[in-house]
């Protein structure tokens, strides 16, 4: 999409540390395997574990798949800003934070600085310091969007996954009915993420589907739910369970609507005959 992925040096150093630890563990396991083979008299070619197992290099991995990557070092101002926030438990830390999240605050300072310089940026992080509501106003003023998953980042960049596109199409007829049933969602909510999607093909189209879904509510709050659909030629039953609206649970909802798209008739019998012939003509 032409976007540059920024990796704060703070996060890169932590990645490198984890890779060194993983590589050391793998080398030890390889040495132990050599010892077992030698003890049992099994011939093998012994390679140097230090040469065989190398830590992953994040920037090289990204560059190899064509991603433009920039590693950004924190400035003195970033450190001073994070230091003050950590000591005073200032935003975006939750007010009841039990520790001073200095590392996360340094990344926060970098994200704000880059967003102001570039007139907008997207921070992808699951850390509570980066996603807490307390940082909403400061992020908005800096033009910083915050998401906690790659799926939501793709949705924000309008890069839909095939599963999200299919689920959005299936749910389109039901949003108004779900609003009337009590779901605080706009007429056409934005799908923030779709995970664990399962589609079951029937004789004339998709017969059922399910997924874990996150959408943006009418007040900008996040709504998560488990969604299941049962679809026939003239009916679509949508059931939402485990609904959470801005951290508060909501009772299960179920609506029944008519599908708006004509369903494509499938050549089921022809496909079945072809399959039997391919398998050897068995019944």
Residues 153-197: pLDDT tens digits?
877 776 667 788 888 889 989 999 999 999 998 887 877 778 888
Q: How confident is the model at residue 265 (pLDDT cuts 50, 70, 90)?
A: very low
Q: What is the pLDDT of residue 99?
A: 64
- Say what the pTM is: 0.50
Q: What is the pLDDT of residue 186?
A: 84
Q: How confident is the model at residue 262 (pLDDT cuts 50, 70, 90)?
A: very low
Q: What angle do CA 203, 204, 210 make, to 5 degrees?
A: 85
Sequence-distant (≥ 6) Cβ neighbours of residue 185 within 8 angstroms:
175, 178, 179, 215, 217, 218, 223
Q: What is the pLDDT of residue 162?
A: 79
- Domain extent listing, the chain: 4-152, 162-257
Query: Residue 70 phi/psi, 5° resolution?
Result: -135, 125
Alpha-carbon distance of 124 to 107, in angstroms, equals: 11
- Is the distance from CB of 3 to CB of 68 less than 8 angstroms? yes
Average pLDDT over residues 223-239: 91
- Is the distance from CB of 104 to CB of 85 less than 8 angstroms? no
Q: What angle do CA 26, 30, 35 make, to 5 degrees?
A: 150
- Is the distance from CB of 115 to CB of 142 less than 8 angstroms? yes
């Amino acid at each position: 999409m032409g976007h540059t992925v920024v990796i704060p040096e703070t996060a890169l150093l932590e990645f490198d540390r984890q890779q060194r630890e993983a590589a050391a563990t793998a080398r030890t396991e390889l040495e132990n395997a050599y010892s077992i083979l030698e003890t049992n008299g099994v011939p093998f070619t012994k390679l140097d574990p230090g040469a065989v197992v190398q830590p992953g290099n994040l920037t090289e991995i990204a560059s190899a798949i064509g991603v433009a990557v920039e590693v950004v070092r924190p400035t003195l101002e970033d450190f001073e800003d994070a230091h003050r926030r950590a000591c005073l438990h200032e935003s975006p830390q939750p007010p009841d934070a039990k520790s001073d999240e200095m590392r996360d605050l340094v990344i926060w300072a970098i994200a704000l600085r880059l967003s102001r310089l570039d007139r907008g940026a997207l921070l992808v992080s699951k850390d509570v310091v980066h996603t807490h509501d307390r940082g909403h106003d400061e992020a908005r003023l800096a033009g910083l969007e915050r998401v906690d998953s790659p799926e939501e980042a793709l949705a924000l960049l309008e890069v839909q996954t095939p599963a999200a596109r299919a689920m959005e199409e299936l749910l389109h007829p039901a949003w108004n009915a779900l609003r009337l049933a009590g779901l605080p969602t706009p007429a056409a909510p934005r799908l923030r993420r779709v995970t664990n999607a399962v589609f079951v093909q029937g004789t004339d189209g998709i017969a059922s589907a399910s997924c874990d879904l996150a959408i943006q509510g009418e007040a900008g709050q996040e709504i998560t739910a488990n969604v299941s659909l049962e679809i026939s030629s003239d009916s679509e039953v949508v059931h939402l369970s485990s609904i959470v609206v801005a951290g508060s649970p909501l009772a299960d909802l179920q609506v029944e609507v008519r599908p708006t798209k004509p369903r494509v008739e499938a050549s089921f019998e022809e496909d079945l005959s072809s399959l039997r012939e391919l398998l050897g003509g068995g019944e």
